[in-house]
Chain A
Amino acid sequence: MATANELRELMRTEGAAVETNTQAFNEGRYESVSDLEEYEELKREARATKEDAIERLPELLDQLTETVEENGGTVYLADDAADANAYIRSVADERDAERVVKSKSMTSEELDVNEALAADGVDVVETDLGEWVLQIADEAPSHIVAPAIHKSRDAIADLFNERFDPETPLETAQELTHFARETLGERILDAEVGLTGANFIAAETGTMALVTSEGNARKTVAATDTHIAVAGVEKIVPTVADFHPFIELIGRSGTGQDITSYVSLLTPPLETPVVDFSDDTTPISAFDADREFHLVLVDNGRLAMREDDQLRETLYCIRCSACSNSCANFQSVGGHAFGGETYSGGIATGWEAGIEGLDVAGEFNDLCTGCTRCVNACPVGIDIPWINTVVRDRRNREREEPAEWLVDGLTPDEEDEGAPLQKRFFGNFETVAKLGSATAPLSNWFADADLSRRLMARLLDIDPRRELPTFERETLVEWFADRESTVSDPERRAVLYPDLYTNHVQVDRGKAAVEVLEALGVDVVVPPVPSSGRAPLSQGMVSTATDHATRVAETLNPHIEAGRDIVVIEPSDYAMFQREYEKFLDEATFTELADGSYEVLEYVYGLLENGADTSALPDVDAEVAYHSHCQQRTLGLEPYTVAVLEDRGYDVSTSDVECCGMAGSFGYKSDYYELSMDVGERLREQLQDDGVRGRPVVASGTSCLEQIDALLERQPRHPVELLVE
C-alpha cells in the first residue's frame, strides 16, 4: 500500500501532468458522449455483446481457432505469461528476427514480453510514441491508454536531448513528434517481426480490431512479414458486426475523441505485399504477400475469473481508461500509485486480483473510495466500485489480526476473521456514533483531547489534522419523539430515514427536513432504523453490510406497505438503497425499498411538481453555490436540488468536480489525508472562483460538508436548510 510519503512524492513529481491530462480526457468524454444520440443504447449493446461472448467463450475460442487456421495463421492458447513468452520467443527465433517492433498492447505489458525477447538478444522497439518515451526512460506506464501521461513536454525534451544529443536541441511537441517519427520510421522498416495487441477479435472471420491514432500499428503490421498478435482470451466477440458499439464508444469514453484516427480491422495474413524498401527497380505490386500470422491468446487467470461470479464482469472491460480519468484520486496520483503490476485505475483491482492475485490488488485498491463516478462512465457498465469492495472484503478475510481490546467492544460486526482494526473502527461507525451521542459532550471533549488524538493516530491511523465530527447529545429520533406532527390533513405520509450522521451529528439538517416536509403537507415520522451499512461496506465488510441491509428493509418495508414514502437525506445511504442493496436483498425486497424511497430534495421537487402549497417556504432573491454528492450525481439526482433552489428564487452555481475527496472515512486516514486535501483543492478552487467566492455554500453529503468546512472559511449547510428560513 502506498504510504503518505509515497503519495506525497508522486503528487509532487507527477501530479500536475497527470491532473492536466486526465481532466482533459474526462472533459473530452463528457463533451463527446453528449453528441452521441444513441449513447445509452450503444452502452447497452456493448454490455450485452460482452456478456454473451464471455458466456460462450469456450465455443467462440474453438470457432476462432478454426477460422484463423483456415485463413493460414496459427493460434496459440497460452496458460500464463511464461507460456506465452516461450511461444513468442520461438516464433522470433524461427524467423531469425533481429528486431521486433511493437505497437501498444497492455497484454504484452502483462507478459513482460520485451524482457523475454531481449534476453534472446532481440532488439525490441516500442513504436507508440508514449511507450517509446517510457522505454527510453525505463519507466512504467502511468495510464492504460496514454502511458506517459505523467511526463511533461519539458521532461520528454530533456530525455530526448540527453539520450540522442540532436544537433539542435528539441523543444516543442511538434519537434519531439517529428524526431520520434523519423527515428522510429527507420527502425520499423528494418524489423522482421511486428507485435501488436488486439482490442477485439471476431470469431466468425478471424478479424481483429486495432484502435490507434498514430498509425504505428498499421506500419508495424504492413512493414514486417511476421505478425504476432497477443490478446487476452476475453477479447473475442462473435462477428465483425459486433465491433460496432465498441468502435463508437471506445475513443469517446477514453480520451474523449469521437473516434481514433485508425481502427484497423485486420484479417491476417494481409494482402499487402512484403517489400524491400530499398529496392528501386521492382514495382511494389510485384512483391509477394508472403506473410505469417500468429495469434497468441492469453489465459493467465482469465478463465478462472470467468468462473468467479464477482470478478467475471472485469472481463467485459475494453481498457478505455474512463474509470481512470473520471476518478478524483486517480486525477491526483495517476497509475503509479493507483495501479498494480500492469493495469491502473478503478478496474485494475479486478484485473490484478484475477491475474496477479489479491495481494497485488490489495496494494492499491483502498484508493477506490466507492464514489461511483466511474460507473456511468464505463461503456460496458461494470460496477467497478463493487469489484473493489469485493476484493477489499476478500483481503480482509485473508488476514488474521488479533482483535484489539480497545476497539473490540466497538466492533459488533459480522466479520468472522481479521478485518484490520482501522477498517473495523470505521465500518462500525454506528456503534461509535451511538456511544458518542450517549456520552456527549464528554465524547467530544475526549475526541478533541490531545492525548486521545494521539492514541487514535497510533492505533487507528486517524490523521490528527482532521477535525472529528461533533456528536449531538439529543439525536434526531429522540428530538422527534417529543413533538407532535403539525399536519392534520396530510397530502402524503413519509418516514424520514434517520441516517447515522443526521441522527447523531448533523441533527439540524434532520430537523429542517421535518419542518420542510410538514410545511408541504406531509405527515412525517422518524422511527429508529438501523444504519444503512454504507460504513462497513466502504471498508469491504460485505457480510456486515448485508446484515444492515436486511435489518433496514425489515424496518422500513412495513412502512412502505402501510403507505409511507421513505425520504433519505444522506446521499450515500440513499445510494445504498438504490444500488448496493440489490446485491444484499432478494429482488422483491430490494425493489420495494428502492421504488419506495426518495432523496429529500428529489421528494420536495416531486411535491412541488404535484402542486404542493409553497406559501410556508421562503421566497428569496439570493445567490448560492451548490456542491452535489458523487453518488447522488451518479444516480442523476443533482438536477432536483438545483430546480428546487431555483424555484425558491436562488441563483445556483454548481461545482463539477467528480468528488470532494473526503469520501466517508477516506480523508480521515493518515495515509490519505494529503491526497484527500489535494482532491479537495479542485473543489476549493471552483468555490473560490470569481462570481462564486461570495456565495454561501450548500452541499448534500455529510463528507462533502466536512470537507468543505475544512477547505473554506464559509460554513456549508445542507440545501434543505435553505428551505426553512
Chain B
Amino acid sequence: MATARSSFESSLEDVGVSVTSVETASFREQLDETVTPPAVGVPLEEAFDEPSLSLADTSVTGDPTPATLREATTGVTGAQLGIGDYGSLALTPTDRASELVSLFVDRHVAVLRESDIVPDMDTAIETVHDEIDRTGHSVILATGPSATADMGALVTGAHGPRDVHVLIVDGE
C-alpha cells in the first residue's frame, strides 16, 4: 500500500493538487487549517462510518442551504477512492448533495482514507464497476482542478473548482 500511496501523492503533484495527511484524532484541527473560509461540507461520519471524521466543532458548515453553498469558497466532501497512477479521486454523488458541494465552489477539499488508495485505473474501474452494478450509483473520476484551453491558453478553474486539496486520513 505504501507504493500506491506514494505514487498517488506524486500523481497529485503532477496534476496540481496539494495534499496533507492527518491522524484521525487531529482531523478537525487539520481540516480547519486546510479550508479557506467560508466553507461548507457534506457530513462525513456516515459516509466513512467513523464518528471522529465529523464536521462538528469545525469552521465548516455541514449541510448548508443552497444560498450558503453559493457564497462558500471551500467545499468539503469525502472521496471513495484515490487512484495511484493518475492522482484521480472517485467521488460518489449522494443524496447529501456531495456533487453540488464539490462542484459549485472555488476550492474542493476531498477527505480520503489511506486504505481507499488503489494502485491504478484498472483496479479502480473494477471497483467502480462492482459498486455501480451493486448500487446503481454514479461516480465522478476527478483529476486535478477544472481546466480549459478554449480561451487561447490553459487556465485552471473553468466551471468547476480552480483548486483541489486532498486530506489523507492515515490508516491504522
Partner-B contacts on A (CB < 8 A): 71, 127-130, 133, 146, 148, 151-154, 156, 172-174, 176-178, 180-181, 184-185, 188, 204-205, 207, 213-216, 218-219, 222, 239-241, 243-244, 247-248, 255, 258-268, 270-273, 275-285, 287, 289
Determine the residue in chain B with the shortest Cβ distance to A154.
Answer: B152
Contacting residues, chain B, for A283 (C-beta < 8 A): 63-65
Within 8 A of A (CB), among B108-156: 121-122, 125-126, 128-129, 132-133, 136-155
The reply to whether B70 and A177 form a contact with Cβ atoms under 8 Å apart is no
CA of A275 to CA of B86 in the docked complex: distance in angstroms?
33
Complex alpha-carbon distance, A280 and B129, angstroms: 37
20 pairs across A/B with beta carbons < 8 Å? A129-B148, A146-B150, A173-B152, A176-B152, A177-B148, A205-B133, A214-B158, A215-B158, A218-B159, A218-B160, A222-B93, A222-B99, A239-B129, A239-B133, A240-B125, A267-B138, A279-B65, A279-B66, A284-B66, A285-B63
Chain A, residue nearest B67 (CB): A280
With A247-B141, A284-B69 in contact, do A273 and B155 touch (Cβ < 8 Å)? no
Interface-centre pick from A153, A218, A273 (highest chain B CB count, 10 A): A218
Q: Would A262 and B146 count as touching, CB distance under 8 A?
A: yes
B141 and A263 contacting across the interface, CB-CB below 8 Å = yes
Q: How far is the CA of A271 from the CA of B139 in the complex (A)?
A: 11
The answer on a CB contact under 8 Å between A218 and B140 is: yes
Query: What's the minimum C-beta distance from A723 to chain B, rounded to whole angstroms?
Result: 45
- The answer to whether B151 touches A180 (Cβ under 8 A) is yes
- Cα A214 to Cα B64 in complex, Å, equals 25
Contact of A216 among B138, B153, B159, B161 (CB under 8 A): B159
B68 at the binding interface (Cβ < 8 Å): yes
Partner of B160, one of A129, A239, A261: A261
* A127→B154 CA distance, assembly (Å): 17
CA distance A219 to B125 in the complex (A): 23
Give bound CA distance, A152 to B128, whole Å.
40
Taking CB atoms and an 8 Å cut-off, the chain B residues in 93-108 that contact chain A are 93-101, 103-104
Bound-complex Cα distance A246 to B68 (A): 38
Residues of B contacting A240 with CB < 8 Å? 125, 128-129, 132-133
- Which residues of A have CB within 8 Å of B146? 213-215, 261-262
Compute how far the CA of A148 lies from the CA of B152 in the bound complex, rounded to whole angstroms. Answer: 9
> From residue 12 to 68 of chain B, which have CB atoms closer than 8 A to chain A?
63-68
Which of A71, A176, A275, A284 contacts B151, CB < 8 Å?
A176
Which of A178, A271, A279 is B93 in contact with, Cβ under 8 Å?
A271
> Within the complex, which residue of A133, A216, A244, A277 is in contact with B125, where a contact is CB–CB below 8 Å?
A244
Given A181-B157, A277-B66, A284-B64, answer yes or no on A258-B86 (Cβ-Cβ < 8 Å).
Answer: yes
In the complex the two chains form, is B103's CB within 8 Å of A284's CB? no
Q: A156-B152, A215-B103 are in contact. Are A280 and B68 (CB under 8 A)?
A: yes
Q: What CA separation (Å) do A638 and B103 show in the bound complex?
A: 48
Q: Indicate if the CB atoms of A153 and B153 lie closer than 8 Å.
A: yes
A129 touches B158 (CB 8 A): yes
- Are B140's CB and A262's CB within 8 A? yes
Q: A153-B151, A177-B148, A272-B93 are in contact. Are A265 and B140 (CB under 8 A)?
A: yes
Once A177-B155, A275-B100 are accepted as A-B contacts, the answer to whether A262 and B160 lie under 8 Å apart by CB is yes
Interface presence of B88 (CB below 8 A): yes
A266 neighbours in B (Cβ, 8 Å): 138
Contact status A262-B151, CB under 8 Å: no
Distance (whole angstroms) from the CB of B63 to the closest CB of chain A:
4
Q: Are A278 and B67 in contact (CB under 8 A)?
A: yes
> What residues of chain B lie closer than 8 Å to A154, measured between beta carbons?
152
Chain A residues, Cβ within 8 Å of B144 = 261
Once the chains bind, are A241 and B125 in contact (CB under 8 Å)? yes
* Complexed CA–CA distance, A204 and B126 (Å): 14
Which residues from B are CB-within-8-Å of A275?
66, 97, 100
Q: Nearest residue in B to A288 (C-beta to C-beta)? A: B95
B164 to nearest A CB, angstroms? 9
A residues in contact with B65, CB < 8 Å: 279-284
Other than the given A129-B148, A280-B67, A283-B63, 15 more pairs (CB < 8 A) read: A129-B150, A156-B151, A188-B159, A204-B133, A213-B147, A214-B147, A215-B103, A215-B146, A216-B159, A218-B159, A244-B121, A261-B146, A265-B128, A278-B66, A280-B65
- Taking beta carbons and an 8 Å cutoff, which residues of B are in contact with A? 63-70, 86, 88, 93-101, 103-104, 121-122, 125-126, 128-129, 132-133, 136-155, 157-161
CB-CB under 8 A for A214 and B66, given A176-B152, A222-B99, A275-B100: no
| Contact between A173 and B136, CB atoms less than 8 A apart | no
A271 touches B148 (CB 8 A): no
- Give the chain B neighbours of A285 by CB distance below 8 A: 63, 95-97
Question: In the complex, which residues of chain A have a beta carbon less than 8 angstroms from the beta carbon of B137?
Answer: 267, 271
Residue contact A133 to B150, C-beta cutoff 8 Å: yes
Q: Tell me if B125 and A214 are in contact (CB < 8 A).
A: no
Closest 6 CB pairs of A and B: A153-B152, A215-B160, A280-B67, A214-B158, A130-B150, A173-B153
A241–B126 Cα distance when bound, in Å, is: 6
Is the pair A243, B153 in contact by a Cβ cutoff of 8 Å? no
B155 / chain A contacts, CB cutoff of 8 Å = 173-174, 177
Complex Cα distance, B155 from A268, in Å, reads 30
Once bound together, how far apart are the Cα atoms of A173 and B157, in whole Å? 11
Q: Which of B140, B143, B151 has the most CB of A within 10 A?
A: B151
Considering only CB atoms, which chain A residue lies closest to B42 in the complex? A285
**Assembled-state Cα–Cα distance A204/B129 (Å):** 10
Q: Is the CB of A284 within 8 A of B97?
A: yes
Find chain B residues with CB under 8 A from A222 CB: 93, 99-100, 103
B-side contacts of A188, CB under 8 Å: 159
A216-B158, A247-B125, A259-B88 given as contacts; is B149 within 8 A of A273 (CB)? no
Bound together, the chains give a CA A214 to CA B150 distance in angstroms of 10
Contact B126 A279 (CB under 8 A): no
User: How far, in angstroms, from A287 to B158 measured CA to CA in the complex?
Assistant: 27
CA of A148 to CA of B141 in the docked complex: distance in angstroms? 26
Inter-subunit contact A128/B138 (CB<8 Å): no
Residues of A with C-beta under 8 A to B160: 214-215, 218-219, 261-262
Chain B residues with CB under 8 A of A152: 152
Docked Cα-Cα span, A219 to B102, in Å, equals: 11
B104, B146, B149 — which one has the most chain A CB atoms within 10 A of its CB? B149
Q: Are A213 and B140 in contact (CB under 8 A)?
A: no
Please indicate the chain B residues that have their CB under 8 angstroms from the CB of A173 in the complex: 151-155
Shortest Cβ distance from B162 into chain A, in angstroms? 9
CA distance A273 to B100 in the complex (A): 9
How far apart are the CA atoms of A569 and B132 in the complex, in Å? 56
Identify the interface centre among B66, B104, B154: most chain A CB within 10 Å of its CB: B66
Tell me the bound Cα distance from A289 to B133 in angstroms: 20
A183 to chain B minimum Cβ distance, whole angstroms, is 11
CA distance A278 to B69 in the complex (A): 10
A173-B152, A285-B63 given; A272·B147 CB < 8 A: no
Contacts of B126 in A (CB 8 A): 241
A218/B99 in contact, CB under 8 A? yes
Does A148 contact B150, Cβ atoms closer than 8 Å?
A: yes
Interface residue from A177, A248, A259, A279 paired with B158 (Cβ < 8 Å): A177
Q: Are A265 and B139 in contact, with the CB atoms below 8 A?
A: yes
Within the complex, the shortest CB–CB distance from A21 to chain B, in Å, comes to 8
Considering only CB atoms, which chain A residue lies closest to B63 in the complex? A283
B136 in contact with A272 (CB, 8 Å) = no
Contact A205–B141 (Cβ < 8 Å): no
Are B100 and A71 interface neighbours, CB within 8 A?
no
Q: Are A247 and B152 in contact (CB under 8 A)?
A: no
Q: Are B141 and A284 in contact (CB under 8 A)?
A: no
Chain A residues with CB under 8 A of B104? 219
* Nearest opposing residue in chain A for B96, CB measure: A285
Query: What residues of chain B lie closer than 8 Å to A205, measured between beta carbons?
Result: 132-133, 136
Is A207 in contact with B143, judged by CB distance below 8 angstroms? no
B136 CB → nearest A CB, Å: 5
Q: Kindly provide the distance from the CB of B149 to the nearest chain A CB, expressed in whole angstroms.
A: 7
Rounded to whole angstroms, the CA-CA distance of A173 and B147 in the bound complex is 12
> Which residues of B lie under 8 Å from residue A267 when comparing CB positions?
132, 136-138
Query: Which residue in A153, A156, A181, A259 is a CB contact (below 8 Å) of B143?
Result: A259
Known A259-B86, A266-B138, A272-B93; contact A128-B150, beta-carbon cutoff 8 A:
yes
